[in-house]
């Protein structure tokens, strides 16, 4: 992913701030521990002078002395930890702690950007606070199949809404759990208001928490950006947005079919989905359209890309939003599963 200089600086400032906070926290811990445990400072001084001694012996090549120094150092370190725990502190209270231990809050592992850097980029660019709020509420722990009827039978598959949702939930969980090792795509399609967007939110949250970059768009929002990039005067920012759309670890396109489609949106969708398949980057699409409609509206070649590269999950049922509302108004679960 490419960034403008000012965006890059903004992220590096976050890392600098983290390092400053770490340093500050460590000093604060020392101050507190020294105040409460008078003998601790002495032990620390012995440890640091032993450390210097060790370095000198190492230079002199005195290996015998080195072994006994090491032993003494281990003994003092254990003593220090015991002093801390006896006084009610955690044993590692005087060690540095990092938000990301992998890069020690520098953003880099050697010359490579750390995984947390990639996440910082999407946090900066795309995680509008409203999505974060939604993800607090809509995640796997809050998802319930109780709302789905065992009696509502899908005429196409012969399965109940409940069965279909249980299968979908399992597939979505596996998708999120194996995200790092598998290249998979999902098409969630079927009736309106049966939880397709909710499911994509569940996955988004898990994948984001695992440190991957996730971009979420409604189809209308996505096509707006395409139009801006093709017809408008492309700014550096637009270029980057497009680049993120093609390269982010997971792209979620919500509510495909609600945008105004034309030959332009049709060809842009193909390019986008095709690029992501070539780059082995996962995509989730949710839509109220039936498969035949997707084929008809978005062309045969787009449909064939989807049908051969995506897991297709068909969801049906009564409108869950209505059912939930009924429950909130004081109904019972039985009312929802009638």
Contact 250, 215 (CB under 8 A): yes
Contact of 185 with 310, CB cutoff 8 Å: yes
d(CA 38, CA 156): 76
Q: Of the two residues 110 and 158, which places its CB atom closer to Zn ion in the complex?
A: 110
69 or 116: CB nearest Zn ion: 116
| Nearest distance from C-beta of residue 100 to Zn ion, angstroms | 3
Pick the closer one to Zn ion by CB: 114 or 219.
114
In contact, 298 and 270? CB cutoff 8 Å: yes
Instruction: Tell the residue number behind the tokens 């984001």, with chain if given.
Output: 208
* Residue number, 103 or 294, with CB nearest to Zn ion: 103
Nearest to 204 by CA among 193, 215, 194: 215
Residue 162 CA to its chain's centroid (Å):
28
**Distance of alpha carbon 265 from alpha carbon 247, whole angstroms:** 19
With tokens 């971009």, the residue in question is: 215
Nearer to Zn ion, 114 or 172 (CB): 114
Q: What are phi and psi of 284, to 5 degrees?
A: -120, 130
Q: Residues 6 or more apart from 310 whose CB is under 8 A from it?
A: 185, 186, 187, 283, 285
Q: Where are the alpha helices (DSSP H) in 39-181?
A: 40-60, 63-86, 115-125, 129-137, 161-177
Residue 252 and residue 222: Cα distance in Å, rounded? 10
Got the DSSP string for 186-230?
EEEEESTTSSHHHHHHHHHHHHHHTT--EEEEEHHHHHHHHHHHH
Q: Which pair of structure tokens corresponds to residue 195?
A: 């939880």
CB 189 within 8 A of CB 175: no
CA separation for the pair 159, 163 (Å, rounded)? 6
Closest CB to Zn ion among 123 and 238?
Answer: 123
Residues binding Zn ion (CB under 5 A): 100, 102-103, 114, 116
């Amino acid at each position: 992913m490419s960034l403008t200089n000012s965006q890059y600086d903004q992220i590096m400032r976050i890392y600098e701030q983290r390092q400053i906070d770490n340093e500050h926290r460590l000093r604060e811990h020392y101050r507190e521990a020294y105040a409460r445990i008078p003998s601790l400072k002495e032990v620390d001084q012995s440890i640091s002078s032993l450390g210097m001694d060790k370095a000198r012996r190492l230079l002199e090549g005195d290996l015998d002395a080195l072994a006994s120094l090491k032993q003494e150092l281990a003994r003092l370190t254990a003593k220090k930890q015991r002093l801390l725990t006896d006084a009610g502190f955690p044993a590692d209270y005087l060690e540095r702690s990092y938000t990301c231990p992998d890069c020690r809050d520098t953003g880099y592992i050697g010359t490579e950007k750390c995984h947390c850097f990639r996440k910082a980029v999407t946090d900066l660019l795309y995680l509008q606070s409203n999505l974060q709020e939604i993800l607090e509420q809509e995640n796997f722990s809050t998802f319930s199949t109780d709302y789905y009827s065992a009696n509502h039978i899908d005429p196409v598959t012969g399965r109940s809404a409940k069965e279909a949702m249980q299968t979908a939930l399992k597939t979505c969980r596996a998708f999120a759990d194996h995200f790092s090792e598998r290249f998979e795509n999902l098409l969630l399609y079927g009736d309106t208001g049966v939880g397709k967007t909710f499911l994509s939110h569940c996955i988004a949250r898990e994948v984001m928490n695992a440190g991957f970059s996730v971009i979420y768009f409604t189809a209308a929002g996505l096509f707006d950006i395409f139009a801006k990039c093709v017809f408008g005067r492309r700014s550096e920012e637009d270029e980057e947005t497009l680049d993120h759309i093609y390269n982010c670890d997971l792209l979620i396109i919500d509510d495909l079919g609600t945008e105004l489609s034309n030959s332009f949106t049709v060809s842009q969708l193909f390019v986008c989905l095709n690029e992501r398949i070539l780059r082995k980057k996962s995509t989730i699409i949710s839509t109220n359209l039936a498969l035949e409609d997707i084929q008809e509206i978005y062309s045969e070649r787009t449909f064939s890309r989807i049908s051969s590269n995506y897991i297709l999950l068909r969801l049906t049922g009564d409108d869950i939003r209505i059912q939930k509302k009924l429950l909130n108004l004081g109904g019972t679960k039985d009312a929802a599963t009638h």
